[in-house]
Chains A and B, each alone.
Chain A
Amino acid sequence: MNVNEKDFRVKNQIRLTIQSRAENVAFVRACTAAFASQMDYTLEEIDEIRLAVSEAVSNSIIHGYKNDPYSQVELYITLWENGGIEIVVEDHGCGIADLKQAMEPTFSTEPGRMGLGFAFMQSFMDQVEVKSRVGQGTTVILKRKVRQPVESKN
């Protein structure tokens, strides 16, 4: 594949702001899946993207906002011309004090929770980037390429 300037062009982009309610996670998943299907992802890849976004938004609601339903989670989803999706999930919640610890599988601050969210994101996406500041919030950036870039759908 030749890397040229065209590859870094935005093909399409959406921005979505939701109230931090558990019932909105299904909506975000459906929305992300519908948007991602503009690219040549397989159904299996779409399922994995749905899973990753579900984990990121659930984390913002449970951990970032401690289940306060009146806060907002923002999503910026970009489809790139070179065949990739980038999903930015941002909250303005409590932030994560120890990122390294938070990203360890089976670590959870909440009793009864699995602590598998980040592990799922990391396994099912190509790249997971987390930026967090205590008291200011957390931004998770999820990236996934289309496995075999072909002519994009119209």
Chain B
Amino acid sequence: MQLEVKPKGHTVFVYIKGEIDLQETERLRQEVDRYIDHHGMDHLVFDLTQVNFIDSSGVGGIIGRYRKMKDIGGKMSIVGAKPTVEKVLIFSGIQKIIPLYQTEKDRIKAEK
């Protein structure tokens, strides 16, 4: 898994490439939490365009970050999940608490 955290204004984008499983979720948690703790932010966007696998550990990791954002009064969105990843996210019910968008354009349009 490759992970890149990029701030744009008050929104922070987390670009992930590869697979999000038990091993990688731990790294995701550490790196994103460190960023949240040090910089603070209003909005966290997970860009999953280049993710080709996620399991329940990965879903748990994303929900954990959502809870952290909620605690500091921020919000979170997910963009670009491929059908195979989206199926797992939807099965877990994550879309009830975190909005899912096909593209970044869709997100901007919806959250304007």
Instruction: Compute the total of residue contacts between A and B using a CB distance below 8 Å.
Output: 58
Quote the shortest CB–CB distance from B53 to chain A (angstroms): 7
**Interchain CB contact under 8 A, B22 and A61:** yes
Residues of chain B in range 33-65 having any CB-CB distance to chain A below 8 Å: 53, 55-57, 59-60, 63-64
Do most interface residues of chain B lie in helix, strand or loop, or is the interface mixed?
helix
Report if A117 contacts B (CB, 8 A). Answer: yes
**Interchain CB contact under 8 A, B55 and A55:** yes
Write the chain A residue with the least CB distance to B85: A47
Residues of A in contact (CB 8 Å), total 23
Contacts of A112 in B (CB 8 A): 60, 64
Contacts of A47 in B (CB 8 A): 53, 84
A26 and B53 alpha carbons, distance in the complex (Å): 10
**Interchain CB contact under 8 A, A123 and B55:** no
**Interchain CB contact under 8 A, A51 and B55:** yes
Selected contact of B23 from candidates A25, A51, A115, A117, CB within 8 Å: A25
A149 and B64 alpha carbons, distance in the complex (Å): 41
Query: What would be 28 A-B contacts, judged by CB atoms less than 8 Å apart?
Result: A22-B21, A22-B23, A23-B23, A25-B21, A25-B23, A29-B21, A44-B84, A47-B53, A47-B84, A51-B55, A55-B56, A58-B55, A58-B56, A58-B57, A61-B22, A62-B22, A112-B64, A113-B60, A114-B57, A114-B59, A114-B60, A114-B92, A116-B91, A116-B92, A117-B56, A120-B55, A120-B88, A120-B91
